[in-house]
Structure 1
Amino acid sequence: MQDPSNSGIMEKYPDHTKGRCHLMFLSDFYRDTLHVTDPDLLEQVVGLSEIRLCRQGDILIQQGEVPTYVFFLMHGTLRGVLLDINGRDITDCIVYHSGDAAMPDNDLTQPASVTMEALTDCTLACIPVEEAFRLIREQPAVAELYQQLVLRAAGMHRALKIAICQYSAAQRYQWFLETYPGLIHRISHKYIASLLNMTPVTFSKIRKSLKESESV
């Protein structure tokens, strides 16, 4: 992971792309992906937003820091990562659906429980946390959207926990393929193995075994 103190880890959208094209990009994202359809609310949300670019390996939010922005994934893949008691790198979650909140926790006021790291180059929409809170308080549609995102994230974590606790390693691999379609080809397999609570060696053996059985 790159040093989070490096000011270049997260860039604002280049100045030459701002203006009408920039606003249209945000407007299309909020309307088509997050279903913010009320014209006045859409204009307000777009006006409060920025687009940020992350390169692969960049740190979006560092564990222990209180987030100052709410991030929504537009394009790319991120993971939540933490270290276990032995200093081992553990992938806690993977964010790759466009429109998902790329946040470490549901409670935006607490220090981040995990670090959010870009696994690929990413494009994100972001809103200052204080403005997000205001919109949640004042706009029922935003409050409903926030609840939906929280429930979605909780559901994904619950499904992952069930898979880890109740499925064999091979079953966990199949679950991943079904739950994260296409992601197997987009990120390093060591992060997937970590997410599924298996070693890279076990992960590789399962893939090889399944390929051999499919070729019979």
Structure 2
Amino acid sequence: MHSGLLNIISQKVQLTDNDVDLCGMLFEPVQFPKNSIIEKEGAVPQYLYFVVNGFMRLFHHNKNGDEVTTHINCPPGFLTSYVNFINQTKANENVQCITDCELLRITKSNLDNLTIQSAAFKDFSIIVFQQSIAYNEARSKELATLTAGERYEKLIENYPGIIHHVPVQYIASFLGMKPESLSRIRKQMNS
């Protein structure tokens, strides 16, 4: 299960045998069934997850009690309520497995130990942080400047498998629209 993570890391930084061993010791393999909420809002996130297989999302409840999906993770990739995990503060988001998921997880203390013991993992964590900032800036810009149809087209272009694994209501929420609006957009695109 660790090979996918190691492959992604080794594309960015040079790993030693010791780095590989540390990864195997500190990233714990776990599996969760579809619809499992593995981190809850109102609690301090316990783990950073690497998605080996499956689809996950971050969501919170708005003031009306409706679910708002803020992030959908298509494998492979990392997912947690990141700021809360790093600061070990209570999260305002839930982490949910949309499908059955195979994950690797690491605690904050083990992640800190890993970045202290391994220059490669320290460098890689900085790269992930930078990519996260760039992604969030691009997403904010897209929500502000692209039409709903353009946002959907871009999502499908970048993640073509998403429509087969993620319920439409999650995709619509992530794109900042109602499910009915997404259904209309999809019909227009297919006609």
- Give the TM-score normalised by the residue count of structure 2: 0.90
Query: 85, 88, 92: which is aligned to 2:63?
Result: 85
Match of 1:12 in 2: none
Structure 2: distance between partners of 1:40 and 1:140: 11
Q: Does 1:166 align with 2:141?
A: no
Shift, 1:102, TM fit: 1.5
Counting only pairs closer than 5 Å after superposition, residues 149-188 of structure 1 correspond to structure 2 as 149-188=128-167
Structure 1: distance between partners of 2:119 and 2:55: 29
Structure 2: distance between partners of 1:157 and 1:180: 17
Q: Contact 1:163–1:175 at 8 Å: present in 2 too? A: no
Shift, 1:191, TM fit: 0.5
Counting only pairs closer than 5 Å after superposition, residues 52-91 of structure 1 correspond to structure 2 as 52-91=30-69
Q: Does 1:194 align with 2:169?
A: no
| Bigger mean CA offset, 67-76 vs 54-63 | 67-76
Q: In structure 1, what residue type is equivalent to 2:188?
A: S
Match of 1:32 in 2: 7
Cα deviation per residue 1:95-126 (whole Å; 9 max; x = unaligned)?
Answer: 1131x211111452222231111111101111
Q: Does 1:121 align with 2:100?
A: yes
Shift, 1:158, TM fit: 2.0
| Bigger mean CA offset, 52-61 vs 151-160 | 151-160
Q: Does 1:135 align with 2:128?
A: no
Cα deviation per residue 1:123-174 (whole Å; 9 max; x = unaligned)?
Answer: 1111222111112233221111111222222222222221211111111111
- Give the TM-score normalised by the residue count of structure 1: 0.80
Q: Contact 2:15–2:120 at 8 Å: present in 1 too? A: no
How many pairs are equivalent?
186
Shift, 1:29, TM fit: 2.8
Q: In structure 1, what residue type is equivalent to 2:20?
A: L
Task: Select the structure with the greater relative contact order (CA < 8 A; seq sep ≥ 6).
Answer: 2
Q: Which runs of 5+ in 2 are unaligned?
A: none
Cα deviation per residue 1:54-110 (whole Å; 9 max; x = unaligned)?
Answer: 111101211121122222111111000001111111000011131x21111145222
Cα deviation per residue 1:14-58 (whole Å; 9 max; x = unaligned)?
Answer: xxxxxxxxxxx32x2332233273111111221223211111110
Q: Contact 2:51–2:103 at 8 Å: present in 1 too? A: yes
Q: In structure 2, what residue type is equivalent to 1:90?
A: V
Q: In structure 1, what residue type is equivalent to 2:16?
A: D
Structure 2: distance between partners of 1:29 and 1:175: 26
Q: Which runs of 5+ in 1 are unaligned?
A: 1-24
Match of 1:4 in 2: none
Percent of aligned pairs with the same amino acid: 23
Q: Which has the larger radius of gyration?
A: 1
